[in-house]
């Protein structure tokens, strides 16, 4: 069975964190002046935004002379996190290869981490199989390209109007392509075996997941 280390979790989390940097202001003037901060906190919690989200709201509203109601925001966010920080959501996040939340209430964190790991194991196996399939398809495309070139060179070699130098070069090219083709056939066999192993690993994991002991 293919095994994955915690490093994969760290990489996924880092990529998602980087993707979240930057962006437009979170609120406009009208929203800053009329918003219910408890509702904002609740929506941020349900959406899985980290605690830094309030800093973005504060920055956006400072331009309009508005200061967020932190107590109301935090109360709403805590309510929202109770809906976000569930084992089901943790598993969904893992299956998407999304970031593991580290801001859930202590009583929810262990459960969501366990479910996330389960989902992420599935994500990694699917991703691994996808990579194997892509590599195999790329090798087969290369094989077809070599076959096409060999046909073209063969036609050039037997053509009556082909000059001697061009025919000699074509023969050299055929030799090199044939050697490359031989190596590629061996690689394709290895890639096919790898794809089968990764498919089997995914199937075994899905079966074990559906039939827990």
How far apart are the C-alpha atoms of 164 and 167, rounded to whole Å?
A: 5
Query: Domain residue spans in the chain?
Result: 7-84, 124-210
3-state helix, strand, coil in the chain (%, to 5): 75, 0, 25
Q: Whole-number mean pLDDT of the chain?
A: 88
The residue to which tokens 């070599």 are assigned: 146
Phi and psi angles of residue 27, each rounded to the nearest 5 degrees, phi first: -145, 150
Query: Which whole number is the average pLDDT over 35-44?
Result: 94
Query: Which residues in 93-104 are b (16+ Cβ under 10 Å) and which e?
Result: bbbebbbbbeeb
Q: What percent of the chain has pLDDT over 90?
A: 73
Angstrom distance (rounded) from CA 34 to CA 11: 40
Q: At what angle do helices 53-62 and 70-84 cross, to 10 degrees?
A: 140
Structure confidence by residue, pLDDT tens digits, 130-156? 999 999 999 999 999 999 999 999 999
Q: What is the pTM of this model?
A: 0.71
| Res. 2 pLDDT band, cuts 50 70 90 | very low
pLDDT in tens, 91-121: 999 999 998 888 999 999 999 999 999 999 9
Give the pLDDT confidence score for residue 25 in this predicted structure.
72
Evaluate whether 37 touches 68 at the Cβ level (below 8 Å): yes
Residues in Cβ contact with 111 at an 8 Å cutoff, skipping those fewer than 6 apart? 86, 87, 90
CATH architecture designation of domain 124-210: Orthogonal Bundle (1.10)
């Amino acid at each position: 069975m293919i095994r994955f280390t915690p490093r994969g979790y760290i990489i996924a989390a880092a990529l998602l964190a980087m993707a979240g940097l930057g962006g437009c202001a979170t609120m406009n003037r009208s929203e800053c002046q009329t918003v219910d901060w408890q509702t904002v906190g609740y929506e941020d919690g349900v959406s899985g935004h980290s605690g830094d989200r309030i800093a973005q709201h504060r920055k956006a509203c400072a331009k309009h002379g508005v200061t967020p109601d932190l107590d109301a925001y935090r109360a709403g966010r805590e309510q929202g996190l109770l809906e976000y920080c569930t084992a089901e959501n943790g598993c969904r996040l893992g299956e998407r290869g999304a970031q593991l939340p580290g801001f859930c209430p202590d009583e929810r964190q262990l459960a969501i981490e366990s479910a996330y790991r389960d989902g992420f194991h599935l994500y990694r196996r699917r991703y691994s199989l996808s990579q194997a399939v892509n590599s195999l398809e790329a090798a087969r495309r290369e094989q077809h390209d070599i076959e096409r070139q060999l046909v073209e060179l063969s036609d050039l070699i037997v053509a009556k109007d082909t000059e001697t130098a061009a025919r000699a070069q074509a023969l050299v090219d055929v030799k090199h392509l044939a050697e490359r083709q031989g190596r590629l056939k061996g690689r394709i066999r290895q890639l096919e075996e790898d794809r089968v192993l990764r498919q089997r690993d995914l199937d075994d994991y899905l079966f074990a997941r559906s039939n827990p002991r």
